[in-house]
Structure 1
Amino acid sequence: MGSRRYDSRTTIFSPEGRLYQVEYAMEAISHAGTALGVLATDGVVLAAEKRTASKLLEQSVGAEKVYLLSDTTCTAVAGLTSDANTLVTYARQQAARYRTTYGESMPVEQLVQRMCDLKQGYTQFGGLRPFGVSFVYAGYDTHRGFQLYTSDPSGNYAGWRANCIGANSTNAQSILKSDYKDEITLSEAVSLAVKVLSKTMDSATITSEKIEFATLSLDKSGRVRFHSYSPEEIEGLLKKEGVNTQQPEEEK
């Protein structure tokens, strides 16, 4: 009952020093599809669960959970897709302006920080609400090599070796914590991401319609290569990892 006096506006602190609207936004994300990232020595893998797996949905309309922000940075999202689209567009604009101004790709952490500055502003002014979306960022720059970050609606961000956001994130992080190892390769990171999704997704089976996969690595010439897995590649990966892809009759 007491919280009702303080949760109607973003800018009002409760006596305990809490901003309830920000906490409500984080709670909304905890019910969204899982998104995770794993940092390897030779790349980064992003994986995400798609919740809109309907027979009537046109699957070729584009990415729903994994987006390319610049030629060196990509992200996976958990939360409101509409909010994610707005922030992804903003990030792409910032990265493009940086390249136009300085003639090189925007450093990964600087792009993440720019995004978080915008999100923090939406927790500070009246008439606004926090963005109901969290991000897992994967990127590469010559300053710090491959990097993995996450950010939340409050504008906080942190660097990680492996992390998960969205539904079942607690269980997913337990698996990542126990199975992640130093000097992990990109292929091992992909296998770990598949294992985490197979053990934490609510569905009994995993298919290419229910997940998105992407990797960031360097090609032979040293250029950053973003690879978004096609449905056929995802099916092949799931079979390789021994994941059950046969749907029960009630799900068909």
Structure 2
Amino acid sequence: MSRRYDSRTTTFSPEGRLYQVEYAMEAIGNAGSAIGILSKDGVVLVGEKKVTSKLLQTSTSTEKMYKIDDHVACAVAGIMSDANILINTARVQAQRYTYAYQEPMPVEQLVQSLCDTKQGYTQFGGLRPFGVSFLFAGWDKNFGFQLYMSDPSGNYGGWKAAAIGANNQAAQSMLKQEYKDGITREEAVQVALKVLSRTMDSTSLTSDKLELAEVFLSAGKVKYQVCSPESLSEMLLKFGLTQPPAEAA
């Protein structure tokens, strides 16, 4: 039935569905998962790096976490080339706002602006939706710390905890059980790593398969920090999510 309606992004099926948008969401379902958790003193983002081949040289730069502005960062799941276009668009919009108003762009306004761009690609012929979902973490003076999730349709919403990418439904149901109001940043990191360890396709949790980033306040200023592999290994050991290295005989 869908074959009559899935050739154009602008055609609704009789059930009111846009199949091209749903196909884009399927593409995201095959990507490495990412989890965001809102705590009282910051926002935590954790992502799974999918190693597609042993021959592939692992990237020294982050591939799941991106800084948009001094007060906003995001985690990505989906087609990375699509994500790069949208991340650059968001960075330009944030800088234009700062240039015009001499203050950082409110987080939701930035998310809404980017989602308007994504929605446009579901509305005009000859285009396809962006095959990427985002988790936005940020802070502004009006609403403090915020976490937003957006999908290829241009929809977005504010969340206390959210998951995107592979096995996101299982991760989301686990987050419902594990999340508590008033959680601290360290507790949020522990919950995110615990959920990811149970929903990842990989059997063992190691620092080279993960990325962890945090947005928090330090000395009254917003700080974006990506956790180093060494610190990540220590956290996994501390929370009992990995085995200590065996001592050489």
**Structure 1 contact 206–245 (Cα < 8 Å) conserved:** no
- Aligned-pair distance for 1:29? 1.0
SS at match of 1:59: coil
Residue 77 of structure 2 corresponds to which residue in structure 1? 78
Quote the Cα distance in structure 2 between the aligned partners of 1:41 and 1:135.
Answer: 21
Residue type at the aligned position of 1:243:
L
8 Å Cα contact 1:53/1:210 also seen in 2: no
What TM-score comes out, normalization by structure 2 length?
0.95
Report the alpha carbon displacement of residue 62 of structure 1 after superposing the two structures with TM: 1.4
Deviation per CA, 1:199-230: give whole Å up to 9, x if none. Answer: 110111011211110001000x2100111011
Query: What are the within-5 Å matches in structure 2 for residues 67-146 of structure 1?
Result: 67-146=66-145
Q: Which amino acid aligns with 1:203?
A: S
1:24 paired residue number: 23
Task: Give the count of matched residue pairs.
Answer: 245
TM-score (norm 1): 0.94
Q: Which residue of 1 aligns with 2:190?
A: 191
* CA distance in 2: counterparts of 1:137 and 1:245, whole angstroms: 32
Q: Quick one: structure 1 residues 214 and 7, their matched pair in 2 at CA, closer, same or farther if it must change by over 3 Å?
A: same
Residues 82 and 182 of structure 1: CA distance in aligned 2, closer, same or farther (over 3 Å): same
Query: In the aligned structure 1, how far is the partner of 2:118 from the partner of 2:95?
Result: 19
Per-residue deviation at 1:57?
3.7
Query: What secondary structure, in the 3-state scheme, does the structure 2 residue paired with 1:235 have?
Result: helix
Give the RMSD, CA atoms, in angstroms: 1.4
Whether contact under 8 Å (1:175, 1:196) holds in the other structure is yes
Distance 2:206 2:45 in 1: 16
Q: Given that residues 38 and 45 in structure 1 are in contact (C-alpha distance below 8 angstroms), is that contact kept between their aligned partners in structure 2? A: yes
Deviations 1:119-168 (A, max 9, x none): 00000000100000000010000000000000000000000000101111
Corresponding residue of 1:250: none
**Residues 15-54 of structure 1 deviation map (CA, whole Å, 9 limit, x = unaligned):** 1111110011111111211111000000000001111365
User: 2: distance between equivalents of 1:81 and 1:232?
Assistant: 26
Instruction: Give the structure 2 partner of residue 233 of structure 1.
Output: 231
CA distance in 1, matches of 2:214, 2:67: 11
Distance 1:133 1:246, change over 3 A: farther
Alignment match, 2:209: 210
Contact 2:237 2:244 in 1 (8 A): no
* Distance across 2 between alignment mates of 1:211 and 1:13: 39
- Structure 1: segments with no counterpart, 5+ residues: 248-252
Structure-1 separation of matches of 2:90 and 2:243: 35
